[in-house]
Amino acid sequence: MAGRVQKVEPPALPQATLSYEQSFHDQHSNVLRLFFNRLTASFNALIDPDAGGASLYLPYGAFSDSTDQFAALTTAAYPISFNTTDYSSYITIVSGTRMTVTKAALYNLQFSIQFVNIDSQIHDVDVWIRKNGLDVAATNSRFSVPNRHGGVDGHLIAALNIPIQLAINDYVEIIWHTTSIDVSIQHLPTGVAPVRPATPSVIATLFFVSSV
């Protein structure tokens, strides 16, 4: 079967004869030839990234964004964008929002989104997955972003992992919707006292789990 490493069974060698027989040696050689042909084919498939070797090369992508992302309307849904590819093998960002794969497999999509709420009321956000432009059933999650309090904006990290089956050139997007435009996705710069790293607005990873 294409795309899979075939299992190779030990060869069933013929029983040796007490005296020399040409037919025995011919049969013996043919059995070994068949065995080594299958063994070579399986080994080549194992190291070929376009065949069974995808399970060794382990396609992956790690992406992030260093900008703020806003919702213009509470009646619209927005794809989350990425401006940085941190690590990538056989998975790329296309059109700013589409995590696109070149290997058919079951993948695990993980994300964390830094939401901020500048309002004095708690507001909800929905986050779900689209595959090739279509919403994926039963992938939505709702998060309540804390209100602004004591002069400090409310913050929430929305994090989740979702398994998803993808074919060659399929893409996935992370979609969000908010009940208030006072909620946005926020990037924070490097901190001081103490010094600490910048906070990406979004981090997402897409990793190979198993071949199809």
Domains in the chain: boundaries: 1-57, 59-211
**Cα(123)–Cα(60) distance, rounded to whole angstroms?**
34
Q: What is the model's pLDDT at position 3?
A: 53
pLDDT tens string 118-133: 999 999 999 999 999 9
Percent of the chain with pLDDT over 70: 94
The first and second tokens of residue 140, run together, are 């939505």
The first and second tokens of residue 125, run together, are 């956000």
Q: Does position 56 have pLDDT exceeding 90, yes or no?
A: no
> Fold for domain 59-211?
Jelly Rolls (2.60.120)
pLDDT-derived band of residue 212, with 50, 70 and 90 as boundaries? Answer: low
Q: What is the model's pLDDT at position 92?
A: 98
Q: Does position 2 have pLDDT exceeding 60, yes or no?
A: no
What's the chain's average pLDDT?
Answer: 92
Percent of the chain with pLDDT over 90: 72
pTM of the model: 0.81
